[in-house]
Amino acid sequence: MNTLYEDRLQESAIFLVLSFIFMICSPLLALLYIIYGIYRQYVGSVYVFSLFLGIFAYLIVPFQDIYRQMINYYYWQGKAISDIDILDLQLNGIIVYLYQFMVNNDIPYDFIRLVEIPVAFSLLYSIFKYKIKESPTLYTYHDINVRLFILFLFFDLLYTASGVRFGFSLCVYLYGLHLIFDKNQKVKSFFFLGFAACFHSAFIMLGLLSFFIYKAKISFKRVVLVALLCSILVNVFLSTFGAQLLGARMDWYFSSKGNVASYSKMTLIGFTVFWLQKLCALPFAFILFKYNNSNSKWCKMALVWLTLSLVFVSNAVFFYRIWWVFMAIGIYMFLDIEREYFFSTAQIRRLVVCGLMFCFFNLINYHSMLARYPFRSLCKPVPYILAHHYSKQEVFKIVKENGSYKQ
């Protein structure tokens, strides 16, 4: 047994060395080898994949949220920390301190995504690895690969890579839940949950709301009633404290002036794809409905975020993000329920099919970004890739003032 374990470690060590060599020579060339390593479940293979995702994100031409954050980033050029005020923190959270430090030390804006994405995905995988390891269920290699594949399918990697704050904050938030749900480490958990709220102001309101609903111990049958009550409370809360918490973001998220808050701003195709993609996560809702009597804390929190999705269903941007949180929690809820219940092969297959459909609709959503993505650059050595970054002048030639790509 020890010999097998030592052989496994030796194979993993060889894999890590070769994958790093391949990655430095060409990230795209390394990708196939990394996928092979993940399939073989070599130690550290997923973390190497997270580095690839960081390089992938680094090469995305800034648009939409990345473009807006880039403008904010260069705003701090030549400014001191003392210039940061409460309004800046309301708009962008504590990331403004990072912006101020980096831009005044001549660190390109794209390096934020290069670091954030690997850290975010490593947090996700750390939760997954812990739950597989500590589960009383005896998983085969195939079982683990299938469940990891489901995680890859349902966690919106493109949205995370093409943003800066919300996707990263979500991963930190999930890790905070993991610390308190799975390890009962309350102090560490509150640190991560607080950091997520400081990094993106949406998690202040949504985090508090989810906490109160969680403590209320609602049942699946009362979801609609609780959602209606929460809608009233949210409207009162926003009218009273919204401006203080969200500042100028109030108009962005909750008025017709918002760029993405209104469904009316979508085309018919965009509206159809939007809802078809959301329907792909319904298997998690069915699992929640069937096993909501489980003792799983992840199950209870999934019910909370399902309730919140109904609260904000009329707001496209908030609904999308809340539904994304529900899907992410749903993955760990699924693993938690497996500690007590057996899922048939047919149920697993349905999850995989829905995950593939989710990815298909996501490719449609991001077709403009992918059409302009410099895939050839992924074939080049990493030092060459990192030597180039998008200057403001380059971005202004490609992207309009509203963050959309020029024709």
Using the predicted structure, report yes or no on whether residue 250 has a pLDDT greater than 70. no
Give SS3 for 323: helix
Using the predicted structure, report yes or no on whether residue 355 has a pLDDT greater than 80. yes
Q: What is the DSSP letter of 241?
A: I
Q: Work out the end-to-end distance of the chain between its first and last CA atoms, rounded to an integer number of angstroms.
A: 61
Q: What is the DSSP letter of 239?
A: I
**Average pLDDT of the residues of the chain:** 84
CA distances from 11 to 7, 45, 219, 282 (A): 6, 11, 48, 39
Using the predicted structure, report yes or no on whether residue 332 has a pLDDT greater than 90. yes
Tokens at 250, concatenated: 């109030």
Q: 158, 189, 137, 142: which is closest to 345 by C-alpha?
A: 142
Beta-bridge partner residues of 405: 399
Residue 192's pLDDT is: 93
Q: 89, 311, 313, 307: which is closest to 201 by C-alpha?
A: 89
CA distances from 31 to 56, 246, 319 (A): 11, 40, 33
Tokens 């999705």 belong to residue: 309
What mean pLDDT is predicted for residues 286-297? 80
Output 122 or 300, whichever has higher pLDDT.
122
Residue 377's pLDDT is: 92
Q: Residue 36 — very low, low, confident or very high, per pLDDT cuts 50/70/90?
A: very high
Residue 84's pLDDT is: 82
Residue 371's pLDDT is: 85
Residue 99's pLDDT is: 87
Report the Cα 338 to chain-centroid distance in Å: 23
Q: Residue 259 — very low, low, confident or very high, per pLDDT cuts 50/70/90?
A: very low
Using the predicted structure, report yes or no on whether residue 80 has a pLDDT greater than 80. yes
Tokens 């401006």 belong to residue: 243
Using the predicted structure, report yes or no on whether residue 92 has a pLDDT greater than 80. no
Highest-confidence segment of 204-208, 217-221, 319-323, 347-351: 347-351
Backbone angles phi, psi at 399, to 5 degrees: -115, 140
Q: Residue 366 — very low, low, confident or very high, per pLDDT cuts 50/70/90?
A: confident
Q: Where are the domains of the chain?
A: 202-341
Tokens at 346, concatenated: 């047919």
Using the predicted structure, report yes or no on whether residue 17 has a pLDDT greater than 70. yes
- The proportion of the chain whose per-residue pLDDT surpasses 90, expressed as a percent, equals 37
Using the predicted structure, report yes or no on whether residue 51 has a pLDDT greater than 90. yes
Give SS3 for 405: strand
Residue 2's pLDDT is: 64
Q: CB of 317 within 8 A of CB of 258? A: yes
Residue 237's pLDDT is: 61
Q: CB of 329 within 8 A of CB of 301? A: yes
Q: Residue 258 — very low, low, confident or very high, per pLDDT cuts 50/70/90?
A: very low
Using the predicted structure, report yes or no on whether residue 273 has a pLDDT greater than 70. yes
Q: What is the pTM of this model?
A: 0.89
Q: Residue 261 — very low, low, confident or very high, per pLDDT cuts 50/70/90?
A: very low
Output 245 or 391, whichever has higher pLDDT.
391
Sign for the CA dihedral angle at 255, 261, 262, 265 comes to positive
Give SS3 for 346: helix
Q: 170, 180, 159: which is closest to 200 by C-alpha?
A: 170
Q: pLDDT of 53-78, one tens digit each?
A: 999 999 988 887 788 888 888 888 88
Q: Residue 298 — very low, low, confident or very high, per pLDDT cuts 50/70/90?
A: very high
Contacts 24+ apart (CB under 8 A), 188-193: none
Using the predicted structure, report yes or no on whether residue 24 has a pLDDT greater than 50. yes
What mean pLDDT is predicted for residues 337-353? 90
